[in-house]
Amino acid sequence: MDLKGKNAIVTGGGRGLGKAVALALANEGVNIAITGRNEANLKETVEEIKNIGVNAVYSVFSVDDESAVQAGIESAVEQLGGVDILINNAGIGDFGSIEEMPSETWEQVIKTNLFGVYYAAKAVYPFLKAKGQGDIVNVSSTAGLKGGGNMSAYAASKAAVVSLSQSMMAEWRKQNIRVITLTPSTIASDMSIQGGLTDGNPETVLQPEDFAEWVRDILKMNRRALIANGSIFSTNP
Ligand SMILES: NC(=O)c1ccc[n+]([C@@H]2O[C@H](COP(=O)([O-])OP(=O)(O)OC[C@H]3O[C@@H](n4cnc5c(N)ncnc54)[C@H](OP(=O)(O)O)[C@@H]3O)[C@@H](O)[C@H]2O)c1
């Protein structure tokens, strides 16, 4: 499918996986709104995207605050002149034992990774429903498929995203809205490198560009086809 002229919102699009997806879609001719908390990052990335030759805007908000998400998404849609695609990518990784992680940190991970996805999708849905079509990509993780030591909050949040996303898919496919649940393994980014999950070696470890190509190609499938769930791994990390 040709994506040229479509409008996409990428949460957490100022850096990491979200930025790579924003650039890959822009290279297909998609107009982009990126969101995040760090305005300086967003501004810089918007300039990079504009240089590709598409319309690019940004909206600053934290995904853990429902009214801010609502207002921020509406502003992004207004600036773009519509929305066809939501990449629900913003997330945090906080790792540590159940015994030692403060409950406030645990709650913040759930609030950001689970409620953030819920708030953003809920804010975008009315626009897609009115249009009679659209795509939502929810970024979970392989950590959402199986819990593990020192990742209880992250794994629980991502497992809940899988479930939430599958529920969205069941409800919204009737409106010609494709909801895609992605569970990538470790990819080189601030989160994974600073979190000590990988050294990010580009010879062996998945890079944000690999993730972005995958998302782009899923979205380019003919509308009759819905890739409902998918994982991606490094071949031999
Ligand atoms: N890297 C991996 O190995 C990996 C594997 C599986 C899944 N994932 C998932 O992929 C997504 C992107 O991760 P990444 O590796 O690119 O991480 P990253 O480099 O740490 O980037 C995280 C992004 O999320 C945004 N963000 C975080 N908290 C936010 C909040 N409260 N409100 C708004 N935006 C917020 C950040 O923007 P600001 O700083 O501007 O707020 C940033 O753009 C996450 O959902 C992550 O869980 C990553």
Mean pLDDT value across residues 155-179: 98
Asked if residue 223 is part of any domain, the answer here is: yes
CB within 8 Å of 11: residues ≥ 6 apart: 18, 35, 36, 63, 86, 87, 88, 89, 90, 116, 120
pLDDT, tens digit, 9 for 90 and up, residues 52-95: 999 999 999 999 999 999 999 999 999 999 999 999 999 999 99
Q: What is the pLDDT of residue 152?
A: 98
Ligand 1 geometric centre to CA of 128 (Å): 24
User: Which residue among 9, 10, 11, 17 is best mutated to probe the pocket of ligand 1, counting the most ligand atoms within 8 A of its Cβ?
Assistant: 17
Q: What is the pLDDT of residue 178?
A: 98
Distance between CA 12 and CA 64 in Å, rounded? Answer: 12
pLDDT, tens digit, 9 for 90 and up, residues 173-229: 999 999 999 999 999 999 999 999 999 999 999 999 999 999 999 999 999 999 999
Asked if residue 77 is part of any domain, the answer here is: yes
Return the CA Rg of the chain.
Answer: 17
Asked if residue 178 is part of any domain, the answer here is: yes
Distance between CA 77 and CA 113 in Å, rounded? Answer: 22
Asked if residue 133 is part of any domain, the answer here is: yes
Find the residues whose C-beta lies inside 6 A of ligand 1: 12, 14-18, 36-38, 41, 62-64, 89-93, 112, 139, 141, 184, 186-187, 189-192
Q: Is the dihedral of CA 83, 87, 45, 213 positive or negative?
A: negative
Residue 237 has pLDDT above 90, yes or no: no
Give the phi and the psi of residue 119 in degrees, each rounded to 5.
-60, -45
Q: Tokens in use for 135?
A: 């795509």
Range of 220's domain?
A: 7-232
Asked if residue 120 is part of any domain, the answer here is: yes
The number of domains in the chain is: 1
pLDDT, tens digit, 9 for 90 and up, residues 9-31: 999 999 999 999 999 999 999 99
Asked if residue 237 is part of any domain, the answer here is: no
The SS3 assignment for 18 reads: helix
Q: What is the DSSP letter of 173?
A: G
Q: Tokens in use for 206?
A: 């998945």
Q: Tokens in use for 148?
A: 């593990």
Asked if residue 126 is part of any domain, the answer here is: yes
Instruction: Provide long-range contacts, Cβ within 8 A and 24+ apart, for 156-161.
Output: 156/110, 157/91, 157/109, 157/110, 157/112, 157/113, 157/114, 158/113, 158/183, 160/110, 160/114, 161/113, 161/114, 161/117
Ligand 1 geometric centre to CA of 224 (Å): 30
Q: Which of 56, 1, 63 is nearest to 23 (CA)?
A: 56
Q: What is the pLDDT of residue 234?
A: 98
Asked if residue 2 is part of any domain, the answer here is: no
Ligand 1 geometric centre to CA of 91 (Å): 4
Return mean pLDDT, the chain: 98
- For residue 136, give the CATH number of its domain: 3.40.50.720
* Residue 154 designated active-site: yes
Q: What percent of the chain has pLDDT over 90?
A: 99
